[in-house]
Structure 1
Amino acid sequence: MPLSVLVTGASGFIGSHLVPALLAQGHHVRAMTRHPDTYQGQGEAVAGDVFDPDSLIAPLEGVDVAYYLVHSLDSNDFVDKDAKAAQAFSAAAAAAGVRRIIYLGGLGSDDDALSPHLKSRREVEKLLASDGIPVTSLRAAVVIGNGGISWEMTRQLVKHLPAMLAPKWVYTRTQPIALPDVIRYLVGVLDKPESEGVSYEIGGPDVLRYIDMMRRAAKVMKHRKLPIIPVPLLSPRLSSGWLALVTDVDMATARNLIDSMTNEVVVKDDKITRLLPGRLIGYDEAVELALQSQAEEREHETQEEAAEPA
C-alpha cells in the first residue's frame, strides 16, 4: 500500500538515492531540505530543518513514516546538536501522528568503549523513540558509494599518497556495505511491520581492516601498489590533521571519523538477511560501482557545461 513518506537529509549521500527508490515503489515522498528552492532531486521538496523545531510542523503533517538521515559529523559540538535535533524531531513526529521512524545509525557493540561519534548515533536512536513512536534502526559501518565521506576519504588517500602512514587505527576491522544494499534495506523494512521497533546490523559480505580496504581499492583503481609505513604513535589529532591535508575532508569531520576508527564495527547479528534476503555486493564490486558512478557524474557535468551558452 502506498504510504506518505518524509525523507530528511534528502539532498545528502543516502537521501538522494533513497528518495527515487521509494518513488519507484509507488510511495508519495516528501524530500525535506533546508533549501527547497535549490533542491534538484526527486520527490516533493519541503522546507524543514531538524535544528529548528518549528520548521518541522509542516513537512511532517499527514506523514505515515519518516526517515531520519541527519547527523552533524562536521561540527565540533555534534553530540549536543544531534541530541537536540533528535528530541525535536521525535516530539514533532509524535504530534503529527507519524506511525514510524526509520533511522540509519552506526555499528558498534554497546559493550565496547564507543567513540563519541558512535555513542551519539546510539543516543540519537534512543531519543527518536522517546515520544513513543516505533523506531526501526539500521546500524551500518562504512558505506561504499560515490559521495560518501568515508569512501571519498579512502579513494583520495589511495589516489594522492605515494605511501600510506599507518597509525594503529588502520588495523581495526570493519564491515563495509555497498550503497545499493543500504538503500535496499532502507526501502525493504518499510513494508515489514515486524521490523517496527527493531534494530538491525547491516554489512556487506567482507570483514576487512581499513588497511585492507585501501589496498584493495588501489588494486581496483589500477593504481600503483600503496606502500604502508607503520607509525604506531601517530595520535588521533595528528591523524585527522593529516587526513584534512591530503583529502578534502574538513578537520572536524576527519577528527570525528578517526576517533570512530578505533572501534571494531562488524555485524554480530545478521537477522536482517533473513528478513530481507538477497545477494550482498562485495567490497571490490562496491568500489567499482562507486568509481563508475563518479565517472558518470563527471561526464554529465561536462556535458552540461558544454551545453551552456557562451
Structure 2
Amino acid sequence: MPTAVLLAGASGTIGSAVLRQLEAEGHRVTTVPRAALADGPALTALIVEAKPDVVISCIASRSGSPKDAQAVDYAANLALLDAAKAAGAGQFILLSAICVQKPSLAFQHAKLAFEAALAASGIGYTIIRPTAFFKSLSGQVKRVQAGKPFLIFGDGNLTRCKPISDADLARFITGSIANPDALGRILPIGGPGPAISLREQGELLFRLAGKQPRLKSISPRIFIIAQRVLGIGAPFSGWFAEKSEYARIAHYYATESMLVLDPETRSYNPDLTPEFGTDTLEAHYRALMEGSGGV
C-alpha cells in the first residue's frame, strides 16, 4: 500500500536507488536535505509537516573519521529519530553496515551507538546491515582494462563477501516498510552467492576482459605501518588523526570479510549470510566494461 515516507540520504548512491524504488512503488516521498539534519527545530518542522508513516535513513559519514562518524552516523541519525518520534512516525528503517558486528573503527562504534538508541526508543524499527556494495568492488576495473595487474592482499583469499547491487538493496529496504517480519529486527543481507574473494574478483575481471589474470600481492601490514607513523602526529594534528584512521579502515577491509559472523565460532560464515535479489557482480562488471555504468 502507498505510504508517506521521509527519506534521509537521498543524494547518496544507495539513497538515490531507494528514492527511485519508493517512487516506482507509488509511495509519497519527502526527502531531507543534508543541512537540515544539523538543525533540530527545522528538521522537526519538516518532518511534522510531511506527516510520514515511515522514516528511512540512508545517511552515513563520508570519511569514517571519528569527528565525521560522531556527527553523522550518530548525532544526525539521533536528531532524525527524535524528529520522527515527535511527528508520530510508526517505523524507522536504518541502513547500517554488516561490519559493525566486529567493531574496531570509529564509524562502527558510532553506528552501533545509534542502533542501540533506536532499539531503545520505543518506535517500530528495522536495522538493515548489507554486506559489500558493487561500487565498492569496482575500483580496479579500469586498471584491468588498461593492462595493469589487479591488486590483492596476501594471497587474495583473506576476505570474502556477498555483494549486493544498489537496486536489489533498495528493493530489500522498501520491502521492510510495514512488514511485520522486519519490525524490531536486525537484518543482515547480501546479494546472490556464492561468497567471492578478492582473488576471485580479479580473476573474474580478467576473464571478462579476455586477458590472462595478472595479480599483484600487497601485504596488509603496510596499513599498520602507515597507521603507526601517522599516529605519531595524531595528538597534535587533526589531519594526522584523520589519515591514521583511514589507514585503520583500509587494514580492516583488507583483512575482514563482509559476511555474518557466527556467534559460536566467531568466524565469518557465508551460509549464515542471507541472500536477496538477482543482480550479479559479473553482470555489473560486464556493464562497466561496456561503458553502460553497471547494474
SS of the residue 1:266 aligns to: coil
Mapping for residues 1-310 of structure 1, pairs under 5 Å: 1-34=1-34, 49-61=36-48, 62-76=51-65, 77-81=67-71, 82-108=73-99, 110=101, 112=102, 114-144=104-134, 148=135, 150-159=136-145, 162-168=148-154, 170=156, 171-204=158-191, 205-222=193-210, 225-231=213-219, 233-236=221-224, 238=226, 255=247, 257-261=249-253, 262-267=255-260, 280-289=278-287, 295=292
Q: Is the 8 A contact 2:152 2:198 kept in 1?
A: no
Q: Distance in 2 between matches of 1:257 and 1:139?
A: 18
Q: Distance in 1 between matches of 2:180 and 2:56?
A: 15
Q: Distance in 2 between matches of 1:211 and 1:117?
A: 27
Relative to structure 1, the CA distance from residue 30 to residue 154 in structure 2 (aligned partners, 3 Å threshold; closer, same or farther) is: farther
Q: Distance in 2 between matches of 1:212 and 1:203?
A: 17
Q: Distance in 2 between matches of 1:117 and 1:137?
A: 16
Deviations 1:1-36 (A, max 9, x none): 2111011111110111111211111110112224xx
SS of the residue 2:31 aligns to: strand
SS of the residue 1:280 aligns to: coil
Relative to structure 1, the CA distance from residue 87 to residue 167 in structure 2 (aligned partners, 3 Å threshold; closer, same or farther) is: same
| % identical aligned pairs | 22
Q: Is the 8 A contact 1:73 1:253 kept in 2?
A: no
1:285: how far off? 2.1
**Long gaps (5+) in structure 2:** 228-241, 261-268
Q: Is the 8 A contact 1:163 1:229 kept in 2?
A: no
Residue 292 of structure 2 aligns to which amino acid in structure 1?
A: A
1:197: how far off? 1.3
Q: Distance in 2 between matches of 1:68 and 1:97?
A: 16
Q: Is the 8 A contact 1:22 1:29 kept in 2?
A: yes
Residue 153 of structure 1 aligns to which amino acid in structure 2?
A: G
Q: Is the 8 A contact 1:115 1:259 kept in 2?
A: no
Q: TM-score, normalised by structure 2?
A: 0.75
Q: How well do the aligned residues superpose, as a CA RMSD in angstroms?
A: 3.3
Residue 188 of structure 1 aligns to which amino acid in structure 2?
A: G
Deviations 1:170-210 (A, max 9, x none): 52222211222211101111141231111111112121222
Q: Is the 8 A contact 1:6 1:59 kept in 2?
A: no
Relative to structure 1, the CA distance from residue 232 to residue 75 in structure 2 (aligned partners, 3 Å threshold; closer, same or farther) is: closer
